[in-house]
A = this chain, B = another copy of it.
Amino acid sequence: MTRPIFATPDDAERAFYEAFARMDIDALMAVWAEDEEVVCIHPGGARFNGLSAIREAWRQLFASGVKLRIRTSQPIRNQAMLMSVHSVLEHVTVEGDEQMSPPMIATNVYLRGSQGWQMILHHTSPAPDTDGLMMQDAPRVVH
């Protein structure tokens, strides 16, 4: 496939979650930087380092064949010149079972290289429950 170029970190993030929802491993891996230092941590899982290890972890996750719906909410972004860090809540439901589970909390880091913005880190862990999910200094608009 032609490697996509993402003009903004948000474009890379959108492509990442669309590929996740489609269980399209090639599209998902195309969001990652070709960098030795890439890191991926799934909920409750090991730390995967390097593109081959990361691809294999996603392959195993997708191998279940369970169709997922995934949406994100409440992004908090902090962007510097060549790097951007996003904190988002991930809401995953199994297709056909619309029960709301507690969301996941994800940290996504993007690096700007000659090929646009690419993911270098994805770290996800379960939130405790739907109550007490976020503690913050001031009310924030929910996106």
Interface of A toward B, CB cutoff 8 Å: 35-37, 39, 41, 43-53, 56-57, 76-78, 80-85, 87, 89, 105, 107, 109, 111-112, 120-121, 123, 125-128, 132-138, 140
Contact = CB atoms under 8 A, between A and B. Distances in A.
Contact of A128 (B37, B44, B123, B128): B44
Given A49-B137, A80-B111, A107-B123, 10 more contacts: A35-B78, A41-B107, A48-B134, A49-B76, A49-B134, A53-B135, A78-B109, A80-B80, A87-B123, A123-B123
13 contacts: A37-B77, A41-B87, A41-B107, A43-B125, A44-B126, A44-B128, A47-B135, A48-B134, A49-B135, A49-B137, A81-B81, A81-B82, A123-B123
Nearest to A127: B46
B83 A82 contact: yes
Contacts of A127: 46-47
A111 to B, nearest CB: 6
A30 to B, nearest CB: 18
Nearest to A49: B136
Contact of A50 (B37, B57, B85, B138): B138
